[in-house]
Chain A
Amino acid sequence: MNPVFVIAGYVLREAASRKFILAFMVGLTLVLATVALSLKLEVVDGALAATRLFGNVVRANIVSVDVALRPIFRAAAYLVFYGGILFGIVACSDFAPGLLSPGRIEHLLALPLQRWHLLAGTFLGVMTLAVGGTVYAAGGLTLIFGVKTGYWTVGPLIAGGLACVGFAAVYAVMLTTATLVRSAALCSAAGFVLLVGGILAGFRTDVSRYLEAGVGRASFDAVTLVLPRLSALAVGAADLASNTPLLPGSLGMLLGGVLVFGLGALAVGFWHFEGKDC
């Protein structure tokens, strides 16, 4: 078996033994079960006639079901996007430092595998975890709303996929940080900084206007230019989830930028780890 897959399996096995991650999965299941059991949607001829949550009427206006569900899908998309990335930053912060820790890294590097296998396997394992969690959450919502309204859309799943792309860029930075310092706290911090930077980068034109012209604004523009525009990606994910039309080509540019940034960050990490003394 390819060593990358074996390392990915190693990471997933470690994840499965974490109570924190298991608790998250249980919590997610409970939320989905609660929504499934307490939300009552009455759909008549493709229009939402009434909504009841825990028995109380939420909305009485009669609108077509896809329009009526737009706010819910947008909210779900933002929740999956930012919640998923935040949870991923916290939950996955110590996988790479753990694998690179003294006593474990020497053992792994003495085995017949290349150094890049370790980083690629860790990245693959974490992304498998992220995709699995996203499919479970977004797929659960899609299923619940589909069954209750008869309106089936893959929008939430696509939004979840975009969240995974955003998290891939964030985790690439966290993994590269782990090759520099074997600290889960610093890896988390790097992830948070990139998330905040990525949110600002999505609104860089608006934010830049509020800054004094000069070095400060130029620096802000320069830094946010290279950062992945995560907030713009989140908006795109929400639009897709709610079937709101997107600007032609905008999503492709966003995804391309995020992927280039993530691959660049990974390349730096691979290059540094290749020459590192462990």
Chain B
Amino acid sequence: MTTPPPALEVQGLRKTYHRAFGRGGHEALRGMDLVVPAGSAFGLIGPNGAGKTTFIKSVLGIVRPTAGTVRVLGGSPEDPAIRARIGYLPERLHLPGTWKSPAFLATVARLKGLKPDAPGLLRLLERVGLSDAVDRRIGGYSKGMRQRLGLAAALLGDPALLVLDEPTDGIDPMGRLEVRRILQEEVRRGVTLFLNSHLLAETERVCDRVAILADGRVLREGRLEDLARGGARWRVRFAPGAQASALEAAGFVPVGAPASESKGAPGLLVEGAPAEGVYVVDAADVTVLNAALDRARASGALLVDLRREGADLEAVLLGAVGSPGVAA
């Protein structure tokens, strides 16, 4: 059995937007390397102006890269046969306002080389929650309805790769749940999902891998759980009555304690609201962890809860980009 090629493989991708008459230019991508495994749900996050949309346009052949190689589904993005297997939802999809949604989808289907299938189009519209709006002109749709129609167009022809730029933009919370359900269904079906969303919670819920892009470069990339993992730190909760001094001597640091006050782990800053009996401990492996727990139990402390410390995607992003106040 052969391994399928990556859904997306980019090496040394550079893109410089030149100004007219050669007056300098703006370097949007500065040598990006990225591999998106087939069948994964991949999220691209980063601050505004990081180059996310330029990256997406480059891999779809919409903008011409200045340097580097791009392979999509094992082929060139210029190849129409490859593009026929891609579903794309742009960030600001401009739809023909005087058309009705079945007519729009029928045109997109024809451009994708699909056979006419009116019942199939209606089923697709029902799937994205637009079955009640098939007789209305697209011009009368809300922003969320337009996004749903764009998603339906992207799903036409059962693509192997879905590239979605802000798919839930303008959609209400219930609609987001629906869209998330559809995306998760597609991933379970084996579709590769490439998602660019400024909603980090959305990315976190849908994607299993993420890449952080800033200033035209990939700063971090990997499985979400690996990126979010807080290294070798564990959060421990002891039953009330545990001796704080004995626990600190065993290497446990109370949550909310300033770094200067911690005796057990110099330099360890423990964020969070102070809570009775909640400590963190750094342990490189389970042997070290159990040794620390044995010392705690020897002092009479009773273990109630133990879990690995992790960071949410926002913390990962801010940690990578290093500047608060930026959006994805």
Contacts and interface: CB of A to CB of B under 8 A. Distances in A.
Interface residues of A, number: 26
A226 B95 CA distance: 39
Interface string A1-34: 1010011011001100100000000000000000
Contacts of B93: 103-104, 107
B127 interface: no
Interface string B69-91: 00000000000110110101011
A9 B57 CA distance: 26
Nearest to A6: B110
Contacts of B17: 277
A111 B107 CA distance: 11
Contact of A17 (B63, B91, B92, B98): B98
A14 B96 contact: yes
- Which 7 residue pairs across A and B have the least CB separation, nearest first? A103-B94, A17-B98, A112-B80, A110-B88, A112-B84, A277-B63, A104-B94
A42 interface: no
Interface in B87-137: 88, 90-96, 98-99, 103, 107-108, 110-113
Interface in B127-180: 150, 153, 163
B61 interface: yes
Interface string A101-141: 11111111111111000000000000000000000000000
A110 B83 CA distance: 6
Given A3-B111, A113-B80, A278-B57, 18 more contacts: A6-B111, A10-B96, A10-B107, A13-B99, A13-B103, A17-B99, A102-B94, A103-B90, A104-B95, A107-B93, A108-B111, A109-B62, A110-B62, A110-B83, A110-B163, A112-B80, A112-B112, A277-B57
18 contacts: A6-B107, A13-B96, A13-B103, A13-B107, A101-B94, A102-B94, A103-B92, A104-B94, A106-B88, A107-B88, A109-B62, A110-B88, A111-B83, A112-B81, A114-B80, A277-B62, A277-B63, A278-B63
A263 to B, nearest CB: 25
Interface in A147-202: none
A14 B47 CA distance: 38
A216 B283 CA distance: 87
B64 interface: yes
A249 interface: no
A275 interface: yes
B60 interface: yes
A76 B163 CA distance: 54
Contacts of B96: 10, 13-14, 17
A105 B88 CA distance: 12
Given A103-B90, A103-B93, A113 B111 contact: yes
Contacts of B111: 3, 6-7, 108, 111-113
Contacts of B94: 101-104, 107
A104 B113 CA distance: 19
A103 B88 CA distance: 11
Contact of B60 (A3, A9, A101, A109): A109
A257 B195 CA distance: 52
A271 to B, nearest CB: 14
A105 B63 CA distance: 11
Nearest to B58: A277
A4 to B, nearest CB: 11
Contact of B108 (A102, A111, A275): A111
A17 B99 CA distance: 8
B110 A102 contact: no
A106 B80 CA distance: 15
Contacts of A13: 96, 99, 103, 107
Contacts of B91: 103
Nearest to A103: B94
Given A13-B103, A101-B94, A277-B17, A106 B62 contact: yes
Contacts of A114: 80
A275 B107 contact: no
**Interface core residue of B88, B94, B98 (most chain A CB under 10 Å):** B94
B113 A106 contact: no
A110 B86 contact: yes
Contacts of A277: 17, 57, 62-64
